[in-house]
């Protein structure tokens, strides 16, 4: 499996990183006991079952079953080969790999092609005559060199098929070019550049590899679309892409939150204003998958859409989606005078903008303010309706201190007594409890929903992938002892014990080979040298937190449990045969099988007595 990279090097890379640090780039981990837990990046879940064990340097998801060491994590996450993963971990640990085993960062044709296309567009924009139009436009939009560099912005020239010629020159095959979505095919099967005369924004996946583009029209020709996105491909799934996500994740560690914007230009303006944790969905409304991606990184999300009515309305919708998902701490920024972030920064400057982000409303504040706008509060009749509705919003809160805070605020603002609002609140809460009881499990999540509360049942997950280790605790325990204790190993060998399951038997055999050829055989290195399909058993055993001490008596008991299991399954088989024989009234066969059954029962009885 390790391929061309010397084992010594792999070992060096591994021992220089902490798996917790590597995985933290993708998943927000929380320390629970001796483990770290977080939301699984490989399947969607509501409560964290993704576990990282720092001592053992292993991860395992108890929901979907994926597990392994630090190399395996990146292989799953970024679809890398083993050497690619070692290379990436080495980069993370600032270890220079020398020698010819260092393959390019990515061997995936499509990823390489997008990297080349990104560089091409970027190069055209900054250094060519053909790119001048684009550069002029970028300058008009106040994009500095630093911005163009940071976001790798480029320009797709007006002339036809420059990208096509460039990529063919790099020996990409037409099939791959077509699959990339960067080209359109004419009726007679010829390829043409899809993007022309557009400012190009590369769209990256979670790890920052470019997987698609969004091209902004720079001409005034309103007959063509303002934005064109790459079509959906195997790599590029719009509902799972967030502009600037891989960079924003890093910034979120310092800034303490992610800021969600409506478009790329907002993310870029915010970046100029020093807010580097900005992201944007792809010109469509937010999807559940995107919300899940965010949840894995941080629970603190600030939403900052345009300050005009459609923008605020969209903010309301997004806020409700986050509430429905549960577990978020949402802040909402509403910029004055209907400004979008770009306009705001131009008008009021960067510092003021940062203050707006810091002073984001809580969702309750936001909803109460929205509500107040719907009524004429100078009219007593409308004011009463408003106060009733406001109490409904507050009644959804689960924290009594929070409730008190908003009751107080509203009482003061509207000149009514706090006591009367409180009385209404209690009535409303009683009403809701009754309603929920009647609705039972079909609790209606129509909004505003209770804040930070998770009422929906967990989504059923796919069956664990490699649950063998979890399913067969006896063999797992014996294998664990076989690997971790020379005493146990020798004892089992002396007893000529064979693992009944072929996967376990194979692992025992591989461990013998591995430990004979290594001075300090380590379980983590062992994992890289065994076939993929056997790794799950090892990871499960390691993550099961088994005691290292044992007695020979324990081993005997485990072995005898395996024997019993074998006898039982043999008995079941014989009973089936017996039924068949009876149906056919085959007397000779009936006697033969009964004899066998009795023999087995005798052995079983002895064992049980023992």
CB 234: neighbour CB atoms within 10 A? 9
Smallest gap from residue 560 Cβ to Zn ion (A): 36
Alpha carbons within 13 angstroms on the beta-carbon side of residue 133 total: 17
Q: Is residue 42 a contact residue for Zn ion (CB under 5 A)?
A: yes
Q: Is residue 38 a contact residue for Zn ion (CB under 5 A)?
A: no
Q: Choose the binding region for Zn ion from 29-37, 60-68, 316-324, 402-410 (rule: CB under 5 A).
A: 60-68
Q: Is residue 40 a contact residue for Zn ion (CB under 5 A)?
A: yes
* CA separation, residue 98 to residues 6, 7, 93, 265 (Å): 11, 14, 14, 41
Smallest gap from residue 40 Cβ to Zn ion (A): 3
Nearer to Zn ion, 400 or 460 (CB): 460
**Would strands 300-303 and 329-332 be described as parallel, antiparallel, or unpaired?**
parallel
Counting every residue written for the chain, the total comes to 610
319-348 residues in contact with Zn ion (CB under 5 A) are none
Q: Is residue 537 a contact residue for Zn ion (CB under 5 A)?
A: no
Pick one of 27, 64, 394, 574: the residue that binds Zn ion (CB under 5 A): 64
* CA separation, residue 177 to residues 67, 114, 502 (Å): 35, 10, 45
Smallest gap from residue 255 Cβ to Zn ion (A): 28
- Please give the size of the binding site for Zn ion, defined by CB under 5 A: 6
Q: Is residue 76 a contact residue for Zn ion (CB under 5 A)?
A: no
Q: Choose the binding region for Zn ion from 42-50, 260-268, 269-277, 584-592 (rule: CB under 5 A).
A: 42-50
Per-residue DSSP letter, 327: S
Alpha carbons within 13 angstroms on the beta-carbon side of residue 59 total: 33
Q: Choose the binding region for Zn ion from 63-71, 83-91, 224-232, 446-454 (rule: CB under 5 A).
A: 63-71
Smallest gap from residue 467 Cβ to Zn ion (A): 12
First to last CA, the chain: 46
Per-residue DSSP letter, 573: H
Question: Distance between CA atoms of 331 and 357, rounded to whole angstroms?
Answer: 8
Q: Choose the binding region for Zn ion from 43-51, 175-183, 513-521, 569-577 (rule: CB under 5 A).
A: 43-51
> Residue 378 — φ and ψ, nearest 5°?
-85, -10
Q: Which residues lie across from 50 on neighbouring strands?
A: 38, 61
Cis preceding-peptide flag for 51 (omega within 30 of 0) = no
Nearer to Zn ion, 63 or 204 (CB): 63
Pick one of 13, 37, 61, 335: the residue that binds Zn ion (CB under 5 A): 61
Smallest gap from residue 155 Cβ to Zn ion (A): 41
Question: Distance between CA atoms of 339 and 337, rounded to whole angstroms?
Answer: 5
Residues contacting 610, CB < 8 A, separation 6+: 560
Smallest gap from residue 471 Cβ to Zn ion (A): 17
Pick one of 43, 46, 194, 217: the residue that binds Zn ion (CB under 5 A): 43
Contact 364, 394 (CB under 8 A): yes
Smallest gap from residue 455 Cβ to Zn ion (A): 22
Residue 142: left (phi > 0), alpha (psi -120 to 50), or beta?
A: left
Nearer to Zn ion, 61 or 200 (CB): 61
Smallest gap from residue 105 Cβ to Zn ion (A): 26
Pick one of 38, 63, 68, 83: the residue that binds Zn ion (CB under 5 A): 63
Q: Choose the binding region for Zn ion from 41-49, 76-84, 190-198, 231-239 (rule: CB under 5 A).
A: 41-49
Binding site for Zn ion (CB under 5 A): 40, 42-43, 61, 63-64
């Amino acid at each position: 499996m390790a391929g061309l990279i010397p084992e010594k090097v792999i070992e060096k890379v591994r021992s220089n990183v902490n798996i917790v640090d590597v995985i933290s780039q993708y998943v927000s981990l929380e320390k629970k006991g001796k483990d770290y837990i977080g939301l699984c990046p490989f399947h969607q879940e509501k409560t964290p079952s993704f576990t990282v064990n720092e001592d053992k340097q292993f991860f395992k998801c108890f929901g979907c079953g994926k597990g392994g060491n630090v190399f395996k994590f990146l292989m799953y996450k970024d679809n890398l080969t083993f050497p690619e993963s070692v290379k990436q971990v080495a980069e993370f640990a600032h270890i220079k790999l020398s020698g010819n085993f260092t393959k390019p960062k990515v061997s995936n044709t499509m990823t390489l092609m997008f990297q080349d296309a990104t560089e091409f567009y970027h190069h055209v924009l900054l250094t060519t005559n053909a790119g001048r139009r684009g550069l002029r436009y970028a300058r008009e939009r106040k994009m500095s060199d630093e911005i163009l560099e940071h976001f790798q912005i480029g320009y797709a020239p007006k002339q036809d098929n420059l990208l096509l010629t460039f990529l063919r020159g790099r020996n990409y095959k037409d099939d791959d070019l077509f699959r990339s979505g960067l080209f359109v095919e004419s009726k007679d099967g010829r390829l043409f550049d899809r993007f022309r005369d557009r400012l190009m924004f590369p769209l990256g996946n979670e790890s920052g590899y470019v997987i698609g583009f969004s091209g902004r029209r720079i001409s005034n020709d309103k007959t063509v679309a303002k934005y064109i996105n790459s079509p959906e491909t195997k790599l590029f799934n719009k509902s799972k892409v967030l502009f600037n996500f891989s960079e924003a994740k890093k910034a979120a560690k310092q800034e303490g939150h992610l800021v969600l914007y409506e478009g790329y230009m907002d993310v870029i303006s915010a970046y100029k204003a020093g807010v580097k944790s900005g992201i944007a969905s792809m010109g469509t409304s937010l999807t559940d998958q995107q919300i899940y991606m965010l949840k894995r990184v941080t629970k603190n999300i600030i939403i900052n859409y345009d300050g005009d009515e459609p923008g605020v309305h969209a903010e309301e919708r997004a806020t409700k989606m986050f509430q429905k998902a549960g577990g978020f701490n949402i802040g909402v920024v509403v910029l004055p005078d209907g400004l979008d972030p770009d306009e705001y920064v131009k008008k009021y400057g960067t510092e003021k903008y940062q203050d707006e982000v810091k002073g984001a409303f809580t969702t309750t504040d936001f909803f109460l303010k929205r509500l107040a706008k719907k009524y004429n509060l100078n009219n007593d009749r409308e004011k009463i309706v408003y106060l009733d509705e406001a109490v409904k919003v507050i009644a959804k809160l689960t924290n009594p201190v929070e409730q008190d805070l908003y009751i107080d605020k509203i009482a003061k603002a509207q000149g009514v007594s706090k006591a009367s609002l409180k009385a209404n609140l209690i009535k409303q809460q009683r009403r809701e409890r009754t309603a929920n009881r009647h609705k039972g499990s079909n609790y209606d999540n129509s909004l505003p929903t209770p804040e930070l509360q998770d009422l929906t049942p967990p989504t059923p997950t796919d069956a664990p992938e490699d649950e063998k280790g979890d399913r067969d605790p006896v063999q797992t325990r014996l294998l664990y002892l076989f690997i971790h204790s020379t005493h146990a190993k020798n004892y089992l060998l002396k007893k000529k014990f064979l693992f009944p399951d072929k996967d376990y038997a194979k692992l025992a055999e591989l461990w013998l080979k591995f430990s004979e050829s290594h001075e300090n055989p380590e379980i983590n290195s062992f994992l890289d040298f065994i076939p993929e399909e056997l790794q799950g058993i090892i990871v499960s055993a390691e993550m099961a937190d088994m005691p290292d001490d044992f007695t020979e008596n324990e081993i005997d008991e485990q072995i005898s449990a395996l024997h019993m299991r074998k006898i039982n399954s043999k008995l079941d088989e014989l009973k089936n045969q017996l039924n068949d024989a009876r149906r056919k009234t085959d007397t000779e066969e009936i006697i033969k099988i009964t004899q066998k059954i009795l023999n087995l029962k005798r052995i079983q009885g002895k064992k049980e007595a023992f």
